[in-house]
Amino acid sequence: MTAVEFFRAKYHDVPHEYNRNSVKTIPILVALLLSLPAHAQLPPGTQDATPKQSFPDALGRLRTEANDALDKQDFPRALKLLLEMDQQSSPDTPDPHLLYDLAYTQDALDQTSNAESTYHRAITAGPNLLEPHLGLGLLLARTGYLTEAHTELSTAANLPSDSPATKARAYRALARLDLKSSPDAARDELLLALKLSPETPEDTLMAAELAESSNDSAEAARAYRRILATTPNDPPATAALAHLLSNAPSANPAEAEALLTTALTAHPGQPTLTAQLITLYASQGKFAQAIPLAEKLHAANPADTDLTRLLAHLYAQSGDPAKADPLYAALLSAHPDPTLLDDRADALIHLHRFAEAEALLKQALANPAAFPGKDELGIAASHLAFAASNNNDPTTTLHALDIRATVLPQSASSLFLAATAHDKLHEFKQAADLYTRFIAEANGKFPDEEFEARHRLIAISARK
């Protein structure tokens, strides 16, 4: 039974029975699928579109030449011809097929802004033409506008078309978008695509990921292995299986490492495989193996902010904050998000640059709602409390601990920081109570701090 046959048998015409919160997706793989250029998912020109309008002789000659250029994927020549046709066409009766060809060509040449504008013109001229909605949806997905992309792709999927294959592309693109957030919807969309066109390797891969999202890791692994049996060392399938082997209940990191290294021999420097191997090494604390790979990948893609942040994390985790800090600083100049501010502040704390760390963390915590989750907020507040304590700022220490207490339970460390802050403010009753609670909570795990707490309790008692 193939992955898709299993998928159909298990999920066709049954209730949505699995928990969305249990979804385990592979973000780097989803990003790869969504990043496919429009011309990798649509045929040249409008070969799948409904018949084009007729043109006067001059425009007819240009159309013939433009179609020839599109068939040969000579996009610069096609662009010149289509722009000339657009200029000569009547603005009162715009042809949506012409405008779609022009948008598609601009898209193929990475003229993203022009393509988006022309797709919109094509949709205005022919709102019931499927192809412009599909092209625009794919473009929006690649540029990160996922909500808008979903709207356009849904419109495309629900429009009539003489080409089942084109409609199937819309359903497949929707399934890719929904794979993480709505796997039940992705399941239905993939099934609709399979009713319209033959199974593709990407369908098998998606069916495997959906099996994984429903916590059927065994079937997902079998599906990934079937893909690799047909196309050995396929990067997406290898990365997906390695991820599964690294994170499944019966994890096998050794097999995952062997898969990735073998695939990288066949595809040297392949970014998805390399990033997956880096992640695998880092999860095992093998920074000596992870960092050189990350450095090489970053050198080849210096403008990739995700790779820059990955390398900075590896430096920080391996105990080299001096190398991490300039990378975080460069990232912050372009993207000052709160978790990135916290990452750099953590590196500065390890470099004993407490005043700088405190300033960054105050900036990050000025808007607690901007953090992606409670854990991230609590960690940043903990860092601020520690930096402020070492910067002799007890008021800020207590304020940070108040924020932390809204999302995380008290710990020995937070009790000690609160005790020392009240002590510095000469609030001795509160300090004594907190030192006592800290000693009970620490129970020998923090001997230096426990010694200090006992010493301060004696000193506070002597003041009475």
Task: State pLDDT tens for residues 326-351.
Answer: 999 999 998 889 999 999 999 999 99
Confidence band, pLDDT 50/70/90 cuts, at residue 70: very high
Q: How far is CA 146 from CA 137, 140, 141, 194, 209, in A?
A: 9, 7, 5, 23, 20
Mark whether 202 and 339 lie in a shared domain.
Answer: no
- For residue 307, being part of any structural domain is answered with no
Among 452, 375, 386, smallest CA distance to 413 is for 386
Domain enclosing residue 330, as ranges: 316-462
Read off the tokens for 389.
Answer: 């304590």
202 and 343, same domain (yes or no): no
Domain end point (choices 221, 256, 286): 221
Confidence of residue 1 (pLDDT cuts 50, 70, 90): very low
- Final residue in a domain of this structure, among 201, 221, 241: 221
pLDDT at residue number 29: 33
Q: Read off the pLDDT of residues 101-144 as tens digits, 9 standing for 90 and up.
A: 999 999 999 999 999 999 999 999 999 999 999 999 999 999 99
What is the CATH classification number for the domain harbouring 355? 1.25.40.10
Closest listed residue to residue 159, CA positions, set 178, 176, 142, 135: 135
Assigned token pair, 249: 């209940």
- Judged against a pLDDT cut of 90, whether residue 41 lies above it is answered with no
Q: Is 366 exposed, middle or buried (0-12, 13-18, 19+ CB in 10 A)?
A: exposed
Q: Rounded to whole angstroms, what are the CA distances from 122 to 215, 221, 316, 399?
A: 43, 43, 50, 56
Q: Is residue 76 in some structural domain?
A: yes
Say what percent of the chain tops pLDDT 70.
Answer: 87
> Which residue, 164, 186, 221, sits at the end of a domain?
221
* Domain count across the chain: 2
Report the predicted TM-score, pTM, of the whole model to 2 decimal places: 0.62
- pLDDT tier at 464 (50, 70, 90 boundaries)? low
